[in-house]
């Protein structure tokens, strides 16, 4: 689909991969990019920096009511939503059996509600109107991109919650593609490896160095702008559909 003149919603769009996605879409001429994010301070800062086509709405994606209200606001303001990128996520590291006992279920619930329920809340709120968009010559009405992780395939020790949530996004890609293709909506998933974003800000440097060592080439963490380049390719190229693309410099994560 054409990015120029489109309206995009990006969850987690006030930092990291989501912010980079918003910046790229604005550079490419999107009519409006709306960031759903819980970080109000960062959202306000980006609104001031990026101009009137960037809109921030404070949203906890794990709360269906907040998501529905925000989507209604976007629809009222812009009339349509063409692209959805679900990049909001939390790390929630925890072992099933840790030094203090079994994993607290509130920790597991938090990860699942943000990382899995969040994208579901976003999709179920946006797809009904997306299906009514004016189609392109190919009959295309919209594109959904979910952001998974390499942890969906090689989750490391302590990533029980994170891997479960990200693996679920990979698993739902094909059934959603089969369902939504009848409406002219494509569904894709990206599974990034280690990118230099705020989610890694509290990771010890020795852990990050270990991850970098597992990258075949280039031997570094990814840049958020490189992730945004893949977003652009998927949106523009209608042959991308029903697949998960790994973006990780060929890294295969070790157990720890």
Res. 202: pLDDT tops 80: no
Q: Report d(CA 224, CA 194) in Å as an integer.
A: 10
Determine the 3-state secondary structure of 228 from DSSP.
Answer: helix
Q: Report d(CA 184, CA 50) in Å as an integer.
A: 31
Question: What's the sign of the alpha-carbon dihedral 87, 181, 173, 108?
Answer: positive
The values of phi and psi at residue 188, to 5°, are -135, 155
pLDDT of residue 98: 94
Catalytic residue among 54, 56, 117, 162: 162
pLDDT in tens, 51-63: 999 999 999 999 9
Res. 199: pLDDT tops 80: no
Q: Is residue 200 among the annotated active site residues?
A: no
Reported as type and span, the H/E element at residue 189 is strand 185-192
Looking at CATH, the fold of the domain delimited by 7-247 is given as: Rossmann fold (3.40.50)
**For the chain, what are the domain ranges?**
7-247
Q: How far is CA 109 from CA 104, 115, 147, 172, 191, in A?
A: 9, 10, 19, 19, 22
* Packed helices 118-130 and 64-78: angle between N→C axes, nearest 10 degrees: 30
Retrieve residue 9's tokens: 């919603």
Res. 201: pLDDT tops 80: no
Looking at every residue in the chain, the average pLDDT score rounds to: 96
Retrieve residue 164's tokens: 């479960």
Could you count the other beta carbons within 10 Å of the beta carbon of residue 136? 12
pLDDT of residue 19: 98
Retrieve residue 85's tokens: 């990128």
pLDDT of residue 243: 98
Q: pLDDT tier at 208 (50, 70, 90 boundaries)?
A: confident
Burial class of 201 by CB neighbour count within 10 A (0 to 12, 13 to 18, 19+): exposed
Q: pLDDT tier at 151 (50, 70, 90 boundaries)?
A: very high
């Amino acid at each position: 689909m054409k990015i120029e003149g489109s309206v995009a919603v990006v969850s987690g769009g006030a930092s990291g991969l989501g912010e980079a996605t918003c910046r790229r879409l604005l550079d490419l001429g999107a009519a409006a990019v709306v960031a759903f994010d819980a970080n109000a301070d960062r959202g306000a800062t980006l609104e001031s920096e990026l101009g009137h086509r960037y809109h921030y709405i404070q949203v906890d994606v794990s709360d269906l009511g907040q998501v529905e209200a925000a989507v209604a606001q976007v629809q009222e303001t812009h009339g349509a939503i063409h692209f959805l990128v679900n990049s909001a996520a939390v790390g929630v590291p925890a072992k099933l059996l840790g030094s203090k006992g079994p994993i607290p279920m509130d920790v597991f619930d938090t990860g699942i509600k943000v990382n899995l329920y969040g994208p579901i809340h976003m999709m179920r709120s946006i797809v009904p109107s997306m299906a009514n968009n004016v189609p392109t010559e190919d009959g295309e009405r919209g594109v959904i991109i979910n952001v998974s992780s390499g942890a969906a395939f090689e989750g490391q020790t302590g990533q029980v919650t994170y891997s479960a949530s990200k693996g679920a996004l990979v698993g739902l890609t094909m059934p959603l593609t089969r369902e939504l293709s009848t409406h002219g909506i494509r569904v894709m998933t990206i599974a990034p490896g280690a990118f230099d974003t705020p989610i890694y800000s509290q990771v010890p440097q020795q852990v990050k160095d270990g991850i970098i060592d597992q990258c075949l080439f280039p031997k570094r963490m990814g840049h958020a702008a490189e992730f945004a380049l893949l977003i652009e390719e998927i949106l523009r190229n209608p042959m991308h559909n029903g697949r998960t693309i790994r973006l990780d410099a060929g890294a295969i994560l070790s157990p720890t």
